[in-house]
Amino acid sequence: MAITLETSNFFLLLAQAFSYFCVMAALFWARRRVGLGVFLCALGVMHFLETYLAAVFYIQLPFGIISPGSTVLFSGKLLMILLLYIKEDAATVRQPIYGLLIGNFLIVGLVVVLRNHEVVPAVPGREPNIAFVDEMGWLMVWGTALLFLDSIGVILLYEQLGRWLRSHQLARIFLASAAMLTFDQFGFFMALHYVTGAPWHVLYGGWAAKMGAALVFSLMVFAYLRLVERRTRDLLPAQLSDVFDTLTYRERYLDLLGESGRDRLTGALDRGRFDAMGQDLVGPTLATGEPVSLLAIDVDGLGRINDGEGRPAGDLILRDLARLLIGTMGDGRCHLFRHGGGTFAVVAQGLDHPTAVDLAELLRRTTARAEMSERGAIVTVSVGVATAPEDGRDLYRAYAVAESRLREAKAAGKDRVVGRDGVVLG
């Protein structure tokens, strides 16, 4: 069966959407290595093309006439902004929005100045079309103003939908983007109809196409978040001074409540939880006749890393180390706490001393083989091990012994495990 023109256009649109998303998602994923500037510049560069295509370039689909500029490029941009918000914060997501808005106003201002030039026909047959540039400039300003509202709206809707669909992220992404793309389609068409005389059937065909784009891009964003991204979203920084101040408070407050008692940087239980629940882990376990082992784990040379490469480099190492430790321990009876600075504490219920020493050695070897941080840094840890009741019948006495053995490991050359018998392993 011959492929119809509409079918061919449909698959070409899918190919464009897939190509756009893959490139932009790759740039976004690489932000920890090359910075967000590359992603943001690529996002901005596409703005003129999407506005130009929305104004003059249309294709036929089975359900109507649509523009790839609106369907693929603008829809994709809105979903990229939502992705930026989900994985970063409001302070970051406002950068491309304000940058595009200011840049497009600058275009209009420069065109006003250009009109005052006396143009010299240096190249035969090539005359500047200032009217076209002027028209495109105003369309871009209008489109960016709508993008500003769309971006705020899609974030607000994504947040509000969390009240009912907090565990259904795909539905939240799709419903928020579909609602704002509907608003945008009607808003931009009004300007397009006024400036270029675009017919009304373009409105309805474009809306149907944007709903399809919302679904396709939502599926790709959701798959990217689940399969590619590993970084937990940071909490919203303080000291914002505009409308984005209030966008994220409710959901992030709920996230904070859910993470209460966890160290913000590493995700491990924090020092307060160590003090609050540690003895509750030790006492009942000892009462059943089982031992409880405590591990004091410290990153070797963290102060040197902070001084030489900056505290963010040390923070990345602590974050990755916590994830490695949690993944290596596995057992639900082993509890990881960030005790302070570069030190972690492990309360291991039911582990006798030899087994706890073996676990400590496994953690030490695994850490030494792993690449910490996204720059591939190799770090080591020193570990002191104590076991209750022999090394103390409560949390603090036993952990004090573990800390003493940690200091022995440091003094013996670091990258070591010290157990009860004083033998340095490693």
The mean per-residue pLDDT over the stretch 359-367 comes to 90
pLDDT, tens digit, 9 for 90 and up, residues 275-328? 888 888 888 888 889 999 999 999 998 888 888 777 888 888 898 888 889 888
Residue 244 has pLDDT above 90, yes or no: no
- Residue 277: give its domain's CATH number: 3.30.70.270
Using pLDDT thresholds of 50, 70 and 90, give the confidence band for residue 45.
Answer: confident
Find the angle CA(147)-CA(170)-CA(211) to the nearest 5 degrees: 50
Q: Is residue 417 part of a domain?
A: yes
Closest by Cα among 152, 160, 185 to 82: 152
Q: Is residue 213 part of a domain?
A: yes
Same domain, 370 and 420: yes
Same domain, 185 and 137: yes
pLDDT score of 30:
87
**Residue at which a domain ends, from 256, 290, 317:** 256
pLDDT score of 238:
39
The mean per-residue pLDDT over the stretch 24-35 comes to 86
Same domain, 279 and 217: no
The mean per-residue pLDDT over the stretch 126-147 comes to 73
* Domain extent at residue 10: 5-116+129-256
Phi-psi category of residue 236: left, alpha or beta, with phi > 0 → left and psi -120 to 50 → alpha: beta
Residue 426 has pLDDT above 60, yes or no: no
**Residue at which a domain ends, from 233, 256, 279:** 256
pLDDT score of 425:
55
Same domain, 89 and 183: yes
Which tokens belong to 343? 């030190």
Could you give the number of structural domains in the chain? 2
Q: Is residue 121 part of a domain?
A: no
Alpha carbon dihedral 320, 324, 327, 329, in 10-degree steps, equals -140
Q: Is residue 122 part of a domain?
A: no
Sign of CA dihedral 343, 344, 350, 352: negative
301 vs 400: which has the higher pLDDT = 400
Same domain, 356 and 246: no
Query: Would you say the pTM of this structure is higher than 0.85?
Result: no
The mean per-residue pLDDT over the stretch 136-146 comes to 73
Q: Is residue 261 part of a domain?
A: no
Same domain, 251 and 285: no
Same domain, 143 and 276: no
Same domain, 68 and 112: yes
Q: Is residue 67 part of a domain?
A: yes
Same domain, 369 and 397: yes
Using pLDDT thresholds of 50, 70 and 90, give the confidence band for residue 374.
Answer: low
Closest by Cα among 381, 391, 379 to 422: 391
Contact 51, 69 (CB under 8 A): yes
pLDDT, tens digit, 9 for 90 and up, residues 167-209? 788 999 999 999 999 998 888 777 767 766 777 777 788 888 8
218 vs 49: which has the higher pLDDT = 218
pLDDT score of 70:
80
Contact 409, 384 (CB under 8 A): yes
Same domain, 216 and 300: no
Within 8 A by CB and 6+ apart from 326, the residues are 267, 268, 336
Q: Is 292 helix (H, G, I), strand (E, B) or coil?
A: strand
Q: Is residue 222 part of a domain?
A: yes
* CB burial readout 329-362, b (16+ within 10 A) else e: beeeebbbbbbeebbbbbbbbebebeebbebbbe
Same domain, 111 and 50: yes
Pairing of strands 417-418, 381-388: parallel
Q: Is residue 124 part of a domain?
A: no
Same domain, 201 and 280: no
Mean confidence (pLDDT) of the chain: 81
